[in-house]
Amino acid sequence: MSSFAHSTWRRKFGRASVLCQYLSPRSETVSKLADLIDSQKVVHVRGTPASGKTTLARLLQKYYKAKKRNSIYIGTWRRELDEYPSVEDDPDLHAWSKLDSMLRTRFDPNMDYLAPGTILIIDEAQGSYSDTLFWNEIIKPRLSNEGLDISFCLFCCYGSPLSGLDMELDNDIRAFTPAHFKLAQRVTLTPQSHPSSPPIGLFFTRSEFTDAAQRLIANSLFQEKFTLRPDAEDYLFSLTNGHPGGLRSVLKYIHDFYRHDIKSSDLSVITKEHVVNSLKRDQDVWDKLTQEPISRSLPQDGLTTEVADLLAKVLEEGNVLSLSYHLVSIHLSGVLNTVDLSRARIYPQFNQDNIVTAEMSLPTEDYISDSWKEGLFTNKVVFCTGGAGTICSAQVRALVHLGADACIVGRNVEKTEKAAKDIATARPGAKVIGIGAVDVRKYDDLKNAVDRCVKELGAVDFVIAGAAGNFLASIQQLSVNAFKSVIDIDVLGSYNTLKATIPHLVESAKKHRVDSETLRPSPLGTGGRIIFVSATIHYRAMPFQAHVAVAKAGIDALSHTVSIEYGPLGVTSNIIAPGPIASTEGLDRLLPSDIKETYTKSQPLGRFGSVRDIADATVYLFSNTGSYVSGQVLVVDGASWRMSSGGAAYGQLQYPDFLLTGDAVQNVKGKKKSKL
């Protein structure tokens, strides 16, 4: 191309053609990646095809240009450094001189490529794996902050997270001691749970997902314009896991599916129901997706029966523990990535199973407000008893959404495991363990569950003691065993939870204490906190609830004592006392179905609470906002308990007439008949 033609081309297309104006800028992710490169000198970014590597690399280059920092974007690694001349006699600079020659040959020959502070952004860097000189004499020293002050960001579609090139799988590499990437130098599809891992990934965060979706719809690619309702956004985020290519491809499919209705103005807002309906015909969906960018993430050639079976196993079980011959070609094409170094697990980058079955049970706005910062609890672990219940699952879901991993326990195995899987949809890459067959009345059950949590997730930073039992019954109707059952579940269960987790809470508190001199919070965030879920029932006498009132009073006393005894070690202990919360098991048990509407109107705020109200209170107590709050009861009931009536247990039971009849309470779940 002549200089005139080149300048004409630049005037016509300009740099804007490299990055479409409709692309999400991903400002927070790009900024964090740049900070990571500054601190680590070499960052290895691995992601499957269509996962957004090239776009992120270009956004990074744009970021550096705006900051007036010297950066070079290298689209591919074409030839090995040994093929370029060196003008340096110093053997320590021999490889660097060849790198300089390579860059001068490919780009501006007058630029100082080895100026201190230069950043080289290398896309498709897996092409450099066979370049012994580059990896042995440049990358390896820079991994230890040695050599020239040049930083590298390597974007690769496959490779070992430990060493880049994979000695077991890549037959083309030359024999040499491989590099070693620290956890802090590895970025993959989603943020990993280890405390040292970067808090970013190639996949969109929830806020980036919304921004990207809106920008895509505004693009000329979508000829008919529409709006995504928040519930549709939530569903699509769960469906694609934030996969950039997945978002674009599925959005395009939905646009084409409803194009006629949108064009005729019969449809302008796409809801979750629309999305689910459009994805019902599996074969049609996959036929269309094979023509979209996401198809590059799916295996094309070499899809033998053996490979198909192995991929199906990955989708069903989440990983495979051995690298069989049949997976090598799929791995090297980038469809699967190795992520767990200790056992070389291979994970899929796009959950195809979600196309048909993904169902986010709770939209984000239903379980957490938009007041909290994303990543607030990154690298933290929460342990929760009663975690499959409506309230506790929302508490855990909110923490997971904000970055935490979690372990929930319960009696029912199927329900607990299903709840854990559902909660994990709150954030791409989240790890949520569900352990069933755990009786909180048995200390050994809880101790074993906590040990497993620590073994698999690494710690216990937060605890929610939420297991409880309740039903309506008068003292006359209440047997000794029924009374004891509630006391054992609530009080003994809370105590067992405390005893099993307190050593880990103390350990976490040590790492996350507020500086006693500067009073500044720990840069590592918060930890060492426990919340007991109680109630307001015992704040005054209430019929039909003697067993619960005694149990909750015991829990409150336990929490207060914990705050005094473990406060000097940095542990905070508080109580959340929910009032009437809509659509929960508790309200169904306590409130006769025929008076719900009347009782709702009698509330001071004219409504019941939501699980979001409880989840927000949980985030408040576990975040820095609650760092000086301990030994307290946080009542979340809209002033309900201060009303003169007896609350849900009274309803329209006509005190004392109903009591004097000796009848059992009707039209509620979990009612007890007299065992006297």
- Domain positions in the chain: 25-187, 204-325+340-364, 375-661
Mean pLDDT of 606-611: 88
pLDDT the model gives residue 337: 56
Could you give the CA distance from residue 642 to residue 577 in angstroms, rounded to a whole number? 13
- Secondary structure class of 531 (helix, strand, coil): strand
288 — pLDDT class (breaks 50, 70, 90): confident
Mean pLDDT of 54-59: 95
592 — pLDDT class (breaks 50, 70, 90): low
594 vs 512: which has the higher pLDDT = 512
Could you give the CA distance from residue 477 to residue 488 in angstroms, rounded to a whole number? 19
Where is 633: in which H helix or E strand?
A: strand 633-636
666 — pLDDT class (breaks 50, 70, 90): low
Contact 522, 624 (CB under 8 A): no
Q: Is the pLDDT of residue 223 over 90?
A: no
pLDDT the model gives residue 335: 52
Mean pLDDT of 16-27: 70
Q: Which of 221-230, 494-503, 609-618 has the lowest mean pLDDT?
A: 221-230
Which residue from 614, 675, 601 is spatially nearest to 640, judged by alpha carbons? Answer: 601
**Peptide bond preceding 244: is omega within 30 degrees of 0, i.e. cis?**
no
pLDDT the model gives residue 106: 93
Which residue from 352, 330, 333, 241 is spatially nearest to 286, judged by alpha carbons? Answer: 352
- Here the contacts of 591-600 (C-beta below 8 Å, separation 24 or greater) are 591/648, 591/651, 591/668, 592/651, 592/652, 592/653, 592/665, 592/666, 592/667, 592/668, 593/667, 593/668, 594/667, 595/651, 595/652, 598/652, 599/648, 599/651
656 — pLDDT class (breaks 50, 70, 90): low
Mean pLDDT of 387-403: 94
Mean pLDDT of 646-666: 57
Identify the active-site residue in 552, 573, 623, 627: 552
Contacts of 373 (CB under 8 A, 6+ apart): 402
Is 552 marked active-site? yes
pLDDT the model gives residue 675: 33
Mean pLDDT of 512-540: 94
174 — pLDDT class (breaks 50, 70, 90): very low
283 vs 108: which has the higher pLDDT = 108
Q: Is the pLDDT of residue 661 over 70?
A: no
325 — pLDDT class (breaks 50, 70, 90): very low
Is 563 marked active-site? no
Residue 89 dihedral angles phi and psi, to the nearest 5°: -80, -30
Where is 408: in which H helix or E strand?
A: strand 405-409
Copy the structure tokens of residue 62.
């744009």
314 — pLDDT class (breaks 50, 70, 90): low
If one counts every other C-beta atom within 10 angstroms of the C-beta of residue 35, the result is 12
pLDDT in tens, 340-371: 433 333 333 333 223 223 334 567 888 999 89
Mean pLDDT of 34-63: 94
Could you give the CA distance from residue 385 to residue 410 in angstroms, rounded to a whole number? 6
596 — pLDDT class (breaks 50, 70, 90): low
pLDDT in tens, 445-475: 999 999 999 999 999 999 999 988 777 788 8
Could you give the CA distance from residue 569 to residue 367 in angstroms, rounded to a whole number? 32
- Within 275-379, strands assigned E span 336-340, 345-348
Most confident of the ranges 120-124, 364-368, 589-593: 120-124
Mean pLDDT of 83-106: 89
Same fold, 25-187 and 375-661: yes
pLDDT the model gives residue 289: 84
11 — pLDDT class (breaks 50, 70, 90): very low
Copy the structure tokens of residue 312.
């199906």
Contacts of 503 (CB under 8 A, 6+ apart): none
Q: What CATH fold (topology level) applies to the domain 375-661?
A: Rossmann fold (3.40.50)
Q: Is the pLDDT of residue 558 over 90?
A: yes
pLDDT the model gives residue 23: 84
pLDDT the model gives residue 650: 47
pLDDT mean across residues, the chain = 83
Copy the structure tokens of residue 110.
């007058």
Identify the active-site residue in 197, 297, 508, 534: 534
Q: What CATH fold (topology level) applies to the domain 25-187?
A: Rossmann fold (3.40.50)
